Structure 1
Amino acid sequence: MQAPAIRLRGIDDVIAYIDSCPGIRGRAGLIWWLALGGLFLDAFSNSALSAGLGPMTRDLALAPAQVALLTSFASWVAIAFNPIGGWMADRWGRVRPLILAKVLAVVGAVLVVFAPTFEVILVGRFFVGAAYGIDFAIAMAVLAEFTPVKLKSRLNTWQGMWYTAVCTNLLLALLFHSWQVGDAIWRYSVAATAIFGVAILVLQLLFLVESPTWLARKERLEAAALAMTRIYGRPFTAAPPAERIPVLNQARRGLANVLLIFRGIYLPRTILAATVQIGQSIQYFAIGWYLPLISAALFGKDFVYATIGALVFNVCGIVGGFLSPVIGRRLGLRRASAFGFAAVFAMLLVLGLFNGKMPLWVAVVVPSLFILFHSGGPGANGKSLSSLSFRSELRAGANGVIGALGAIGAALGLLVFPLFRAEYGLEKTFLILSVVPLVASLICFAIRWDPTRTAVHPDNEADAPQFRGDTEAPSPFLNPAIEKSRP
C-alpha cells in the first residue's frame, strides 16, 4: 500500500523533510555524487596541463611569460563566468547551467588537444575557464541543497575529489609516458579530460533533477513536489493555495540580489568566505598546482621521478580532503580554516628558509604537510562557507561572486609563481607567498560566523537583508505530516 502524499506548504516543509533524512541516499545520493563528479571534471581539467607542463613548455618553446598566461588564463576567464553561472542558476535553476558547463568543458578540451598553436590553446582554455566558473558556483549550491543540516560539513568532500582528480591525472601521465609519446604527452592528458567530460555529461543528462529547495523558494510548489517525488521515491503534493506559507524575505530583483550579500548579517559571512576562498586559491595555485615543477627541482628533471614525487604530495591531499568533513564537524569550518592557514604559513616558512638544505626525507615531508594542512583546512571551506551561509535564491549568486574572487586568487597564484620564481628564486617565492595564509588565518580568527555552529537555517532568518517590497512572513512551523514521516 502506497504511503499517503506529504503535503508541501512552502520552503520550510522541503527543508524539514531533507533535514529529517538520516543520510543522502537513493536518487538524492546519486545527484549528490554527480554534482561532485562535475567538480572532479573541473579539477581534472585544471590539472591536466599541470602534469605535462614541463614537456609542454619544451614542445611549444614557451617563454616564462607565456607559461604564466597559459596556466592562469582559465582562472581569469572563470572570474567573469563565476557570477554569470550563479546568476543563471538563481534565475533558471541548477540543472541547465550544469549541463552547459560540461558541454563547454568538452569543447575546450577538444580544442586544446588538436591545437596547432599557442593561440588556439588559449581559445580552448577560455572554454575550460567558462565551464569551471559556471560549474563550481552551481554544483556547490546543489550539494548544499541536498545535504541534511546535520551533515553540513560533508560538503567538504569536494576537496578529496579534487585531489583524486589530480592524482588520476598524474597516474595517467605516467601511463602515457610509458607509451613513449615524448613531449606531446600533455595532449594525451587533455584528451582524457574530454573523455571524462562526455561521460559525466551523459550521466548528468540522464539523472539530474532540479533542486526542490530552489523551486520552493521560487514558490513553484507543484514543481517542487514533483521533484521531491522523483528524488525520494515517495509521493509529495503541493498544498492548496490557501494553506501555503509565503516565502520569507523573497528577493525578486535578479542580478541586484548580489548586493544583498554585502549588507547586514551577510557582510561578515561574505568577508569570511571570500577570505578563505581567495587565500586558499592563491596558496594552492601558486604552490600546489606547480608541484610537478617543484618536485622536479627537489628530485631532478626526470619526468617519472618528478611525477611520482608530485603524486606522493597529492595523495596527502586526498587524505586531507576526505578528512576535511570530519575536521569541519569537530572544529567548525571557520576554526578549521584558521588553523589550516596557520599550519600552511609554517610550512611555507620552512620551505623558504631551508629548501635545499633539508635531508631528502624532510624535503618530501614538508610539501606533503603543506598539501595535507591545505586540503584538510581552508582548501574546501571557502566554497562550503559560501554555500551554507546564504538563503537559496542567493546561494548560487553568492557562490558566483565569492568564486570569482577565488578565481582572481587562483589567477594571481598561477601568474606570479613562474614570474617570481624566475625573478627571485624558489626560496624567496615561498617566503613572499607565506604572507597570504598568515593574513587569512588572522581574519578567520577574528570573524566569528560559522554555518555549522548555528541552529537557524539561512532560508528562515528573519533578520536577513531584503529589498523593499519583498515578501515577509514569520518563520512557519514544521509540517506535522513531515514530522510523522521521518525515516
Structure 2
Amino acid sequence: MAGSPTARQTASALPALTPGPHRRHLGLISIVACFGGLLFGYDTGVINGALRPMTAELGLTPITEGIVTSSLVFAAAVGALLGGRVSDAWGRRRSIIVLAVLFFVGTLVVVCSPNVELLVAGRVLLGLAVGGASAVVPVYLAELAPYEIRGSITGRNEVAIVLGQLSAFVINAVIGTVFSEHTSVWRIMFAVCALPAVALFVGMLRMPESPRWLVDHGRRDDALDVLRTVRSDDRAVAELSEVEASITAQRDEHRIGLGAVLRNPWLVRILLVGVGVGIAQQLTGINSIMYYGQTVLVESGFDESAALIANIAPGVIAVVGGFIALTYMDRLDRRKTFVIGFSLTTACHLLIGFSSMVLEPGDPMRPWVILFLVVVFVGSMQTFLNVAVWVYLAEVFPLQMRGLGMGVSIFMLWVANGFLALYFPSLVDGLGITGTFFLFAGVGALALLFVATQVPETRGRSLEALGEDVSTGAIFTRKR
C-alpha cells in the first residue's frame, strides 16, 4: 500500500460530476438516512424541557436527575463503539435499520416507565441507538457521496441533529404550555420520538448499501449497481476502479483491530487526532446548553415558563448555523473552520463569564444579555464546529479502520459529553455561571492550540487518497 499511487492518481482523473436523476437520488438517500440524525437530536434535546415535570412526577433528586440525563449519554458512548464495528460486519444500511427499531423500543420503555429504574433502562436503550447513529450515519453518507461534495452531504446529518433538538424545544414548549397541569406531560414529549423512528425504518428498507462496504465484502457488481444510481455511468465505473484499487492495496490490513492500529504509529496518531477533535467539541459545553438550557436561563434570571420558551432561541440559531455551514463546507478547509470555531466559542465563554459577574442577580438586563450570548455561542458552534467535526471524523480514517476509528473517537466524545451531563448541574451550583464559563474558556484555548498544531487537512480529496496518506504518514507532512 505504501508504494501505490493509484488512489491519488485515480481521484484526480475521475470524470466531473454532472446533474441528473442520480444527484436527486443521492439527495433522497441523504434525507432518509438523516432521520437517524433527527432522532439523535430529538432524544438528546427532549430532556431539556421534560426534566422538570419528570422530576415532579417521579420524585427525582439532583443526583437521579443527573443519572437520568447522563444515562443516555454514557450508553451512547457504548453504542458508538459497537455501532462502528457492527456496521463493518453487517453493513451500514442494515445497521441503521436495527437502530431504528432500537429507537422505537427505547421510546416505548421511557413513555411507559412507572419508576426511575425502568426510565433509566429506556434511556439506556435510546442512548445505544443515539450512539450507534452518531457512528454509522455519517460514514454511510460519506461513503455514498462524491468527494467534491462530501462535506455538504455528510454535514446534512448534523443539520438533522440540530433540527431534532429544535423540534424537541418547540414541542416541549407547546406541550408544556397546553398540558401544563398534566402530571405526565413529559411522557407525551417523549412519545413524539416514535414517529421519526418509524420513518427511518420504513425509508431505509428502500435505500442502497454503501458501495465501498460492498466492494470491501467482495460484492463488486452490487457496488457498481449502487454507484450507477448516484453517479453518471462513466463516473460510477471510474470510481469503482478507484475503490477496488485502494482496497486491493489495503487487503493485508483489511478491517484491522485495535492491536494492529497500535502497531502502526501513523494510525495511532490519526486515532488520537480523531479522539482529540471529538473531545474538544464536547468540552466547549455545547451539550450542557442543549440538555440544561432551561436551567442556565433560570439561573440567569428568567422564570421557569419564560425560560422554556426562551430556550427555543438557541435551537433556532443552531439550525440556521447548520445551514450556513453546509453552504461553505466544500469550499473552506476543515482546519480553518476549526480554528475560527474554537476562537469564537472561547470568546463567547469569556463574555458570558464576565457578563454574569458584572450584571448581578436581580438586574433586569442580566437574563437577556446572557441569553443573547448563549445564542451567539450556539450559532458559532454550529456554524464552524459541529458540522465540521462530524464530517471530519467520517472522512479522516482509512477504510480498513474506519468503523474502529469512528467508534473509538465517538466513544470518547460521548464519554466527555456524559461527564459534562452528569456534573454540569454541580458545576453551576458550585461555581455559578461565571466560574463555569470561565472554565470552558480555558479548555477552549487548549483545544484551539491542539487544532492549530496537530490536526491535518482532509478537504477536497477522495477517501481512498486520504486513507493512503494516513497509513503512510504523508497526511501529516503535506503543506497545510
Q: Go from structure 1 to structure 2 and tell me whether the alpha carbon gap of 1:46 and 1:20 turns closer, same or farther (over 3 Å shift).
A: same
Deviation, 1:308, is 1.9
- Could you tell me which residue of structure 1 aligns to residue 209 of structure 2? 210
**CA pair 262-275 structure 1, distance change in 2 beyond 3 A:** farther
Of residues 286-295 and 456-465 in structure 1, the stretch that sits farther from structure 2 once superposed is: 456-465
The 5-angstrom pairing of residues 328-339 of structure 1 reads: 328-339=329-340
Contact 2:23–2:230 (CA under 8 A) maintained in structure 1:
no
CA drift at 1:356? 6.3
> What is the TM-score when the length of structure 2 is the normalising length?
0.85
Asked whether the 8 Å contact 1:15–1:213 carries over to 2, the reply is no
* Residue in 1 that maps onto 2:471: 465
1:270 maps onto 2:267 in alignment = no
TM-score, normalised with respect to structure 1: 0.84
Match of 1:420 in 2: 427
Out of 435, 458, 472, which is 1:451 matched to?
Answer: 458
Summarize deviations over 1:343-372 as a string: whole Å, max 9, x none.
111211222232164435422320011101
Match of 2:446 in 1: 439
What is the CA-CA distance between 1:168 and the residue it aligns to? 1.0
* Residue in structure 2 matched with residue 69 of structure 1 by the alignment: 67
Determine the structure 1 residue equivalent to 2:157: 158
Which structure has greater helix proportion? 2
Q: Which residue of 1 aligns with 2:105?
A: 107
2:76: which partner in 1?
78
Give the secondary-structure state (helix, strand or coil) at the position aligned to 2:311.
helix
1:197 maps onto 2:197 in alignment: yes
- Please give the secondary structure, in 2, of the residue aligned with 1:208: coil
State the Cα RMSD in Å: 3.1
% identity of equivalent residues: 22
Judge conservation of contact 1:338–1:440 (CA < 8 Å) in 2: no
Counterpart Cα distance in 2 of 1:237 and 1:327: 29
Shift of 1:457: 3.9
Q: Which moved more, 1:367-376 or 1:223-232?
A: 223-232
- Unaligned residue ranges in structure 1 (runs of 5+): 1-8, 467-487
AA of the residue aligned to 2:200:
I
Counterpart in 1 of 2:478? Answer: none
2:214 counterpart letter in structure 1: L
CA 1:383–1:295 in structure 2 vs 1: closer, same or farther (change >3 Å)? Answer: same
1:144/1:387 contact within 8 Å kept: yes
Amino acid at match of 1:216: V
Q: Deviations over 1:320-353 (max 9, x none)?
A: 1111233444441122112211211121122223
Report the 3-state secondary structure (helix = DSSP H, G, I; strand = E; otherwise coil) of the residue aligned with 2:351. helix
Q: Which runs of 5+ in 2 are unaligned?
A: 1-5, 360-364, 473-480
SS at match of 2:297: helix
CA spacing shift, 1:391–1:258, aligned 2, 3 Å: farther
* Whole-angstrom distance in 1 between the partners of 2:296 and 2:140: 35
Confirm whether residue 247 of structure 1 aligns to residue 240 of structure 2. Answer: no
1:122 Cα deviation after fit: 0.6
Q: Which moved more, 1:35-44 or 1:259-268?
A: 259-268
CA contact 1:273–1:382 (8 Å) conserved in 2: no
What is the correspondence of 1:34-433 to structure 2 with a 5 Å cutoff?
Answer: 34-154=32-152, 155-176=154-175, 177-205=177-205, 207-231=206-230, 247-250=248-251, 254=255, 256=257, 259-260=260-261, 263-282=264-283, 283-303=285-305, 305-355=306-356, 357-358=358-359, 359-360=365-366, 361-433=368-440
Q: Aligned letter for 2:164?
A: A
Q: Contact 2:84–2:404 (CA<8 Å) still a contact in 1?
A: yes
CA distance in 2, matches of 1:151, 1:352: 39
Greater displacement, 269-278 / 140-149: 269-278
Residue identity opposite 2:103 in structure 1 = A
Residues 432 and 11 (structure 1 numbering): CA distance in 2 closer, same or farther, change over 3 Å? closer
